[in-house]
Amino acid sequence: MSTAHTETVAHGHGAHDAHDDHHDDGPVSHSTFKGYMTGFVLAVILTAIPFWLVMGNVLGKPSTTSLVILGFAAVQIVVHMIYFLHMDAKSESGWNMLALIFTIVLVVITLAGSLWVMYHMNANMMPMSVHDMKNMP
């Protein structure tokens, strides 16, 4: 055995002594305390504003309030993905972008389906008076 091979085997790294064993597919963004605090503050603001809109009846119309809340929810999803999940288009060789697109499709399907079901349940429910409610079993 040669001296270089003996030193490599002695360190326990095999033939990859000068190379890390993990595969870097690109720059992975590891956040700092400042990054986590920025994400936290944005998440709190994006939660507090819709809460204020609902509790203060600021916009007046429930349909407008609902649409604004859905907008804030979508922005909050993006904030969580960037600041807490560290997802961007460059990391993981673009697989994170595919995951982002899949997430957007699922969110759109879920929100649209939920609104559709709630609208039709509201439109198709029979109105009941207090007198009818008293006679129910």
In whole angstroms, give the CA distance from residue 47 to residue 70. Answer: 11
Buried b (16+ CB within 10 A) or exposed e, 14-24: eeeeeeeeeee
In whole angstroms, give the CA distance from residue 59 to residue 67. Answer: 11
In whole angstroms, give the CA distance from residue 65 to residue 108. Answer: 18
Digit-by-digit pLDDT tens for the chain (137 residues) are 555 555 445 555 555 444 444 444 444 456 789 989 999 999 999 999 999 999 999 998 998 999 999 899 989 988 998 888 887 777 677 787 787 788 889 988 998 999 899 888 888 886 767 776 677 66
Tokens of 91: 């990391």
Q: Where are the domains of the chain?
A: 28-123
**Whether the predicted model's global pTM rises above the 0.75 cut:** no
